[in-house]
Amino acid sequence: MENNNISLVHVLLLITVPAIVLYIIITSSETFTTGVYEPFTIDASNITSPTAWVDEDPNNKLHGNLITMLSDATDIFELLKVKTYLIAGTLLGAVREGDIIKWDDDIDLAMFYDGDIGEYNAYRRKMIDDFNRIGISHDMTIKLNNFGLLITNNTIRASIDIFVFTKNKYGVYTHFCPVVSKCTAWHRQVVFEQDIKPNPPATAKLRGRSYNIPSNTAAVLKRWYGVDWMTPDINHFHKSTEYNIRKHFTITQPLDIPIAPVTLTLNSDKYMKSTDELTREFLLQTIIEMRVSMLYVLHDAYIKYLPYIYFHCVRPIKLNFKIITYVTCESTLPEQLTMCNTVRVANHTLYDKFSLYNIIINSPQTVEYTTAITYGTYDLLHQGHVNLFENSKRICNKLIVGVSTDEFNHTKGKYASEDFNTRISRVNANIHVDESSRETSFDHKQRNVDEHGANLLIMGGDWRDKFDEEVDVPCFYFDRTPNISSTELRATLNMS
């Protein structure tokens, strides 16, 4: 009887244990096996609410391969005693969704290099030699690329981008990738030293395994993706993954549809509101509604809003969104403007500071001198004119002044007390004026801008907003000096 009982127990165990194990496997893998996922809202103007994910989503197989490859690569780097960290979209997916983002097609890792910048390429080549020595049995190859390093596995058709960050003198790790500078939202982002300082590092799990991540993770992701980083949103993608997006979303127009350039110039306090939050949201709403593709920043007060504007405007339909900032304040730091495509500066000190910073971080950002051009009759040159020249020279490195000819004044119904030669001689004698030219027509401003290589137009406040569409460079308006004008002076002279 005992033998019969034992046999019965054995039979029950043989039946129930595999069933329990199978149940555990199925339920524990539910989050990443094929199935229907809950739809979520995407905040992008050319994408409607997403459809549910289909059962036979081919990305499931790809993501399984990516996880395998990530685990194998991590094993190799641990043997080499090299710390790697989840970064960019992979970090965002691990923290926000506990998995790879559903339209992603690769893994993003980061390495942080503390050595001499001159040895950066040697460091990458040594990493390749060491990795290949250990990883040859894993069907993986590693090579140099613009990101830093690229690991591929042709057998399973998967890849890992390794972004090698270098530390500058401020203790800030920066990364530069020229290839993706126009198609991602994170190409020039930074990681602070304290974000990777803890030992052991902070970790996050991807499909059962823990991987290193930067500490202060929420702050890092907020810095990279904006305050609403927890809301799923297609705010960057590789061109090659457009297919993956199209599979899951109803696209109402091509992602690369050409958009007529629309320019917005921040040259006054017109867009300033009572609080920073209201200003930021008003700017963002204006840019999106206008479908702005070129943003000129001529007012220092707007600089602090640029990161927020940048990360919320680089969308699939905003791939060509550019920011050009004019810097006049000596206290402006290069780190504040890393998201700008071009920085135009008013003097040699600023030029040296921004150029040196860009060399240190290997940035694609262009640094240029500001060359400004302004126009007027300048009859009976007075303090108001001098103030205009002085204020203009504060915001530019070179000031060109166009003086209206007598013939042009006559077409405007104006008659100066002094002839053209006298007026232009007085203008040339001013210490703030670098060059002068003849103004012969309202219609020649663009031609003058091109001839002189000007990148800024300056006009008096009484012309405010009237020249914004006249030339292809931004316009800055200075208020006129009160209680003084050539008209008043001519009237006084006539009375005497």
> Is the predicted pLDDT of residue 432 greater than 90, yes or no?
yes
User: Which residues touch 288 (CB under 8 Å, ≥6 apart)?
Assistant: 45, 312, 313
The model's confidence at residue 233, banded by pLDDT at 50, 70 and 90, is low
Structure tokens belonging to residue 442: 């309202």
- Which residues does the annotation mark as catalytic? 412, 414
> Is the predicted pLDDT of residue 68 greater than 60, yes or no?
yes
Q: What is the pLDDT averaged over residues 45-61?
A: 44
φ and ψ of 221, to 5 deg = -65, -35
> In a 3-state reduction of DSSP, which class is residue 469?
coil
Do 402 and 293 lie in a common domain?
no
pLDDT of residue 7: 61
* 370 compared with 322, residue with greater pLDDT: 370
The model's confidence at residue 312, banded by pLDDT at 50, 70 and 90, is low
* Residue where a domain stops, chosen among 369, 393, 413: 369
Lowest mean pLDDT among 65-74, 150-159, 368-377: 150-159
**At 8, which amino acid appears?**
L
Residue 416 belongs to some domain of the structure: yes
Q: How far apart are CA 117 and CA 15, in angstroms?
A: 63
* Residue where a domain stops, chosen among 248, 267, 290: 248
Residue 53 belongs to some domain of the structure: no
The model's confidence at residue 136, banded by pLDDT at 50, 70 and 90, is low
> Is the predicted pLDDT of residue 110 greater than 80, yes or no?
yes
pLDDT of residue 437: 93
Give the E-state strand segments of 252-321 in sequence order.
Answer: 263-266, 294-297
> Is the predicted pLDDT of residue 391 greater than 60, yes or no?
yes
Summarize the chain as % helix, strand, coil (round to 5). Answer: 40, 20, 40
pLDDT of residue 137: 58
> In a 3-state reduction of DSSP, which class is residue 315?
coil
The model's confidence at residue 318, banded by pLDDT at 50, 70 and 90, is very low
> Is the predicted pLDDT of residue 36 greater than 60, yes or no?
no
Structural domain range at position 329 = 258-369
> Is the predicted pLDDT of residue 28 greater than 50, yes or no?
no
The tens digit of pLDDT for each residue in 150-171 reads 888 877 778 898 988 887 666 6
Residue 19 belongs to some domain of the structure: no
Number of structural domains the chain divides into: 3
Do 292 and 386 lie in a common domain?
no
The model's confidence at residue 452, banded by pLDDT at 50, 70 and 90, is very high
Do 398 and 452 lie in a common domain?
yes
Residue 54 belongs to some domain of the structure: no
Residue 78 belongs to some domain of the structure: yes
pLDDT of residue 487: 72
pLDDT of residue 11: 53
pLDDT of residue 175: 66
Q: Average model confidence (pLDDT) for the chain?
A: 76
The percent of residues above 70 in pLDDT, for the chain, comes to: 73
Q: Which residue has the tokens 């992603």?
A: 104
Question: Please, is 443 exposed, middle or buried when counting C-beta atoms within 10 Å of its C-beta (0-12, 13-18, 19+)?
Answer: exposed
Do 274 and 348 lie in a common domain?
yes
> Is the predicted pLDDT of residue 458 greater than 60, yes or no?
yes
Closest to 105 (Cα-Cα) out of 159, 148, 153, 147: 159
Residue 334 belongs to some domain of the structure: yes
* 56 compared with 396, residue with greater pLDDT: 396
The tens digit of pLDDT for each residue in 245-268 reads 444 433 333 334 344 568 899 988
Do 304 and 450 lie in a common domain?
no
Do 111 and 183 lie in a common domain?
yes
Q: Enter the DSSP assignment of 251.
A: B
Q: How far apart are CA 248 and CA 102, in angstroms?
A: 9
* Residue where a domain stops, chosen among 340, 369, 398: 369
Q: How far apart are CA 193 and CA 474, in angstroms?
A: 38
Do 426 and 481 lie in a common domain?
yes
Q: What is the pLDDT averaged over residues 108-133?
A: 85
Q: What is the pLDDT averaged over residues 212-231?
A: 79
Which CATH number do you get for residue 136? 3.30.460
Output the CA torsion sign for 293, 271, 355, 238: negative
pLDDT of residue 27: 39
Lowest mean pLDDT among 10-19, 220-229, 269-278: 10-19
Do 324 and 384 lie in a common domain?
no
Residue 196 belongs to some domain of the structure: yes
Do 282 and 343 lie in a common domain?
yes
> Is the predicted pLDDT of residue 420 greater than 90, yes or no?
yes
Closest to 149 (Cα-Cα) out of 77, 234, 94, 220: 77
Do 351 and 419 lie in a common domain?
no
Pairing type for strands 263-266 and 148-153 reads unpaired
The model's confidence at residue 173, banded by pLDDT at 50, 70 and 90, is confident
Do 134 and 186 lie in a common domain?
yes
pLDDT of residue 178: 40
Residue 1 belongs to some domain of the structure: no
pLDDT of residue 297: 95
Do 391 and 332 lie in a common domain?
no
Which CATH number do you get for residue 421? 3.40.50.620
pLDDT of residue 451: 92
